[in-house]
Copies of this chain bind each other. A is one copy, B any other.
Amino acid sequence: MRKYKILLVIGDGLGDRPVTSLGGMTPLQYARKPNIDKLLKTSIVGLMDPISPGVIPGSDTSHLAIFGLDPYKYYRGRGAFEALGAGAQLKHGDVAFRGNFATVDNNMIVKDRRAGRKLDEGQALVDELNQKIGTIDDVKVSFYKGTEHRVAVVLSGDSLSDKVGDTDPHEVGKRVKESEPIDGSHEAKRTSSVLNKLTEAMYKVLNESEINKERVKKGELPANIVLVRGAASYVKLPKLSDYAGLRGATVAATALIKGICKELGMNVVTPPGATGGIDTDYDSKANTAIDFLKSDDYDLVFLHIKATDAASHDGKIQEKVKAIEKIDYVIGKILDAVGDDMIIALTGDHSTPVEKKEHAGDPVPIFIHVPYPISYDSVEDFNEIDAKKGSLKIRGLDILNLLLNYSQRAEKYGA
């Protein structure tokens, strides 16, 4: 039985709500999308709740679900996935924190939770921390620069726990907190003890850093502490090739998505000009996807477009419409190059209504094109309203199974 290739396209934050300035249409309704329209005739269509109805997904939890991994099992908090996004290589049981470079006085009272918000020297400070701290009580401490003042802090070692409190007091004028164990376990006590020693060590390194002396000279606040919050143990993700038998390639520019796909064992490529923003190079992304689809090395090609979400968070309605039309353009370019004799699915990882500017728990439209005759749905336009007429009422966790079924790669469950 012939196995089909799979192209999975995720428009980040694709779903939306009726927008007044679009005459009460959603961006998907408003956008011109001739290539998607054509695929729709040979597709099953419907609505998808990435987690479950009404639950507002993060991009991390949603992508886990879309790749068939239950986030309630694999997701212990943002810290671990932000660290992945920042380039960390995590081991099962590592505890990761979200951190901020901040400014404290010599009594450890927080003066500014973001060290003046302007921090060009973030990478240099992270490098200095990594060089000078190393291990504390046999626990390896690693720092990874995030965006702006953000930094991911990872503890690696035996007997660690994420049941520990933040050191971030979450308020200016308060003292840096002592982390406390949340449960009575040995592991939690050990982890909070390491964390408190780490606070002292970071202050020592950062306060004496030449970089901070320079900042003070320039009248800037020193970034002399990292406040941490949101401890999260990393639950090792299995490899997509092991649990689904799929050799996968990812085309993406967003750090978080790239981090997850790398952990899943996929080949992850950010093509030249791909930015993860609305200014991304769509041709470049399409070309890379085409190369992967033409290659014998991959069964699944995952194309992630962040522009839809970026426009939504910024409240840029026309940019979101344009990003959707660009997704259609990319799909058209791929169809021109490799044809439609494969499984093609398009959906979002969540809705980000452009007038709300934040993620919402609304369902997201989805279509799955199948190149041989099945019971197709009769849905004429791909948008939030028409998708209700389709037969799919699924959850994110169902997507991988549907892709495996229609690509004729699924294994029977039972006899």
Asked whether B58 lies within 8 Å of A412 as measured between CB atoms, the reply is yes
Asked whether A401 lies within 8 Å of B361 as measured between CB atoms, the reply is yes
Size of interface on A: residues with Cβ below 8 Å to B: 60
**CB-based nearest B residue for A408:** B356
Q: Which of A24, A373, A390 has the most CB of B within 10 A?
A: A373
CB-CB under 8 A from A57, the residues of chain B are 412-414
Alpha-carbon gap, A115 to B212, bound state (A): 80
Which of B82, B375, B406 has a CB less than 8 Å from the CB of A18? Answer: B375
CB-CB under 8 A from A330, the residues of chain B are none
Asked whether A414 lies within 8 Å of B52 as measured between CB atoms, the reply is no
Interface on chain A toward B: helix, strand, loop, or mixed SS?
loop
CB-CB under 8 A from A400, the residues of chain B are 54
- Contacting chain B: which of A128-136, A189-197, A245-253, A391-399? A391-399
Asked whether A54 lies within 8 Å of B375 as measured between CB atoms, the reply is no
Asked whether B356 lies within 8 Å of A78 as measured between CB atoms, the reply is no
Asked whether B410 lies within 8 Å of A361 as measured between CB atoms, the reply is yes
- A372: min CB distance to chain B, Å: 8
- A189: min CB distance to chain B, Å: 26
Which of B18, B62, B362 has a CB less than 8 Å from the CB of A405? Answer: B362
Q: Is A61 an interface residue (CB 8 A)?
A: yes
CB-CB under 8 A from A401, the residues of chain B are 52-55, 361
Residues of A within 8 A of B (CB): 1, 17-18, 20, 24, 26, 47, 51-62, 71, 75, 78, 81-82, 256, 356, 358-363, 373-375, 377, 384-385, 388, 390-394, 397-406, 410-415
